[in-house]
Amino acid sequence: MITAEKRDEQLEFLATTDESYALAKSCMVGYEKQERTVLGMSVLESKEKTVQLKEAEARISKSYRTWKTAYQDSVYDYEILRNKRTTAALIIELWRSEFSALKQGIVF
């Protein structure tokens, strides 16, 4: 059984994480949009002769690796928060189902 306290805790979590959830998603999307820019800048800085070599060098450049780490971290932060919010919503929904069953006289 899910207690009313647990339900209230999850409701509070959902109510207070709207902004941090939006921020995590906007950071992730922002990093997604930056990939081409970071790669392009690295290609322009390359001293290699061919496009393929320039692109290969760009993908191992410090700026690209830094971007990639930041992007992966932003995806992780977003997914963790999204999963916690989904779990909270499921706990609330389960509580509603249990409460409804109890009102109907169904005992677990």
Q: What pLDDT digit, counting tens, does each position of 78-104 carry?
A: 999 999 999 999 999 999 999 999 888
Q: Whole-angstrom Cα distance, residue 40 to residue 28?
A: 19
The letter for the amino acid at 95 is: W
Mean pLDDT of 19-48: 97
Instruction: Express each pLDDT in 61-84 by its tens digit.
Output: 999 999 999 999 999 999 999 999
Alpha-carbon torsion angle 53, 56, 60, 61, nearest 10: 50
Q: How buried is 90 (Cβ within 10 angstroms: 0-12 exposed, 13-18 middle, 19+ buried)?
A: exposed
Integer angstrom CA distances of residue 37 from 31, 43, 74, 89, 108: 10, 10, 18, 37, 57
pTM: 0.84
The letter for the amino acid at 6 is: K
